[in-house]
Amino acid sequence: MRTEYRVEIDCKPQELWPFLDEADKQRAWLTTLVDIVPTSKQQRAVGSTFDLRVREGRRLTNYEGRINAYDPPRHLGVSFWGGAFPPNMVMRVDYRIAELPTGCRLEYYAEVNLDKLRGPIKLALPIARVFTYFQLRHFMRNLKRVAEESTRAGGGKQPPQNKKSS
CATH number reported for the structural domain that contains residue 55 in this entry: 3.30.530.20
Tell whether 161 is covered by a domain.
no
Tell whether 160 is covered by a domain.
no
Q: Report how far residue 45's alpha carbon sits from residue 17's, in angstroms, rounded to the nearest whole number.
A: 14
Closest C-alpha among 46, 109, 93 to residue 72 = 46
Instruction: Residue 30: give the domain boundaries.
Output: 2-154
pLDDT in tens, 29-84: 999 999 999 999 988 899 999 999 999 889 999 999 999 999 999 999 999 999 98
Tell whether 159 is covered by a domain.
no
Domain count, the chain: 1
Q: Is residue 123 very low, low, confident or very high in pLDDT (cuts 50, 70, 90)?
A: low
Tell whether 129 is covered by a domain.
yes
- Burial label for 156, CB within 10 Å (0-12, 13-18, 19+), is exposed
Tell me the pTM: 0.83
- Amino acid present at 101: P
Give Cβ neighbours of residue 122 (< 8 Å, ≥ 6 apart). Answer: 114
Q: Secondary structure of 120-158 in the HEC alphabet? A: HHHHCHHHHHHHHHHHHHHHHHHHHHHHHHHHHHHCCCC
**H helices then E strands: how many in the chain?**
4, 7
Tell whether 164 is covered by a domain.
no
Tell whether 166 is covered by a domain.
no
> Is the bond leading into 72 cis (omega within 30 degrees of zero)?
no
Tell whether 97 is covered by a domain.
yes
